[in-house]
Amino acid sequence: MNITTLKKYKPDNEILVGNSQVIKDLTKKVVQVATFDCTVLLMGESGTGKELIANAIHKHSRKSGPMIKINCGAIPENLLESELFGYEQGAFTGAKPGGKPGKFEEAHNGTLFLDEIGDLQLHLQVKLLRVLQEKEIMRVGGSKTKKINTRIVAATNQNLYNMVQEGKFREDLFYRLNVVPITIPPLRERREDIIPLILHFKREYEKKYQTKRNCSPEVIKLLLSYDWPGNVRELENLIERLIVILDPTEMITPKILIKDYLSMTRLQFEKDISVHRLITLKDATSKVESQLISMALSKYRTLKEIADALGVDQSTICRKLKQLNIQRN
């Protein structure tokens, strides 16, 4: 998809925005899995869209029930047990009169999304395993079990198999969670989805903030070459930030992105340079040098920084600036 077709693009599915075959296959798999009331384990780097898929599974299976979410890594260990399983009156100092239901009870007849499941402590893993096996919970400080009808969708950005080998995650729980594994690839491995995502978020935040922003075609090429360590979440945050911070009359350019938003070390250049017409080797070398030096000038302030980034000494940079007739601001 190029900058022309970008303007005409409309997402063809409601789960994940993208054109790539992997996203189409993933969407099909999610809808299929949702119709079966089984446990699902979502795996992928942070920011790839695991929560979106969890929402989709719930929507296509138990949408009449509640969708409850809990981040296992964001709650202190001493509080997580009572958050998950609830507690009875007098279970501990500060317990509410009458007790309190936990997330499993709140998700009864619905879906419980256990995010960052790899951060769950071993003693809680034992209790979670029992819930998955027996379909019942016992509140902290309680003596009676309670049956629950809750679908479990777990997610992690860690390698649970390796954690099992290291003794950090229970093997029996891993296989109980890993009934249907779904892996979401990072954005750098499906670059054909970057343009549709740019348009999607641009439209979304332009509508939200009642404004418009224009960007040059070179910006699209730059964003396509970026490594996106934060995946879709990073791209979304970047688009929103540009819309909010930049002046409405200001064109989004590569210089702005490289200077303030993108890391040069995360820009992935093609290993092989393609040319579409014959030019001399001297001209080809000059073009590549000119582009690299211009990008470095946009990112760094001093000749030393530029020279270090390009792996040459300062005198070489000064000579190249004169040879290529590149002006410093």
Class in CATH terms, 190-266: mainly alpha
CA distance 237 to 86: 35
User: Is the pLDDT assigned to residue 2 strictly greater than 60?
Assistant: no
CA distance 192 to 190: 5
| pLDDT, position 272 | 46
Residue pair 221/6 in contact by the 8 Å Cβ criterion: no
| pLDDT, position 280 | 72
| pLDDT, position 12 | 46
Domain boundaries, the chain: 21-187, 190-266, 281-323
User: Is the pLDDT assigned to residue 1 strictly greater than 80?
Assistant: no
Other CB atoms within a 10 A radius of the CB of residue 199 amount to 21
pLDDT tens digits, 283-320: 777 777 787 887 788 777 788 888 877 877 888 888 88
Q: Does domain 21-187 have CATH number 2.120.10.30?
A: no
User: Is the pLDDT assigned to residue 269 strictly greater than 60?
Assistant: no
Residues shown for the chain: 329
User: Is the pLDDT assigned to residue 270 strictly greater than 50?
Assistant: no
pLDDT tens digits, 271-287: 445 555 666 767 777 77
Other CB atoms within a 10 A radius of the CB of residue 278 amount to 7
| Percent of the chain residues topping a pLDDT of 70 | 89
Averaged pLDDT for residues 192-209: 93
Averaged pLDDT for residues 50-54: 95
| pLDDT, position 329 | 59
- State the number of CA atoms in the 13 A half-sphere of 78 facing the CB: 3
CA distance 152 to 54: 10
Q: Quick one: pLDDT band at residue 33, thresholds 50, 70, 90?
A: very high
Task: Name the pTM for this structure.
Answer: 0.75
Average pLDDT in the chain: 85
Phi, psi of 230 (to 5 degrees): -95, 5
User: Is the pLDDT assigned to residue 25 strictly greater than 70?
Assistant: yes
Q: Which two tokens stand for residue 72?
A: 């296992």
Q: Quick one: pLDDT band at residue 49, thresholds 50, 70, 90?
A: very high
| pLDDT, position 271 | 44
CA distance 90 to 232: 45
pLDDT tens digits, 89-114: 877 777 788 889 999 999 999 999 99
299 or 329, which is more confident? Answer: 299
325 or 105, which is more confident? Answer: 105
| pLDDT, position 14 | 59
Instruction: Output the CA–CA distances (angstroms, integers) from residue 183 to 42, 44, 136, 307, in the order listed.
Output: 6, 6, 29, 41
| pLDDT, position 274 | 54
| Percent of the chain residues topping a pLDDT of 90 | 51
Cα angle for residues 252, 256, 260 (degrees, 5° grid): 130
In angstroms, the first-to-last Cα distance of the chain is 35
Ranges 47-56, 179-188, 277-286: which has the least confidence = 277-286
User: Is the pLDDT assigned to residue 18 strictly greater than 60?
Assistant: yes
Please report, as a single letter, which amino acid is at residue 47: G
CA distance 157 to 229: 13
Please report, as a single letter, which amino acid is at residue 153: V
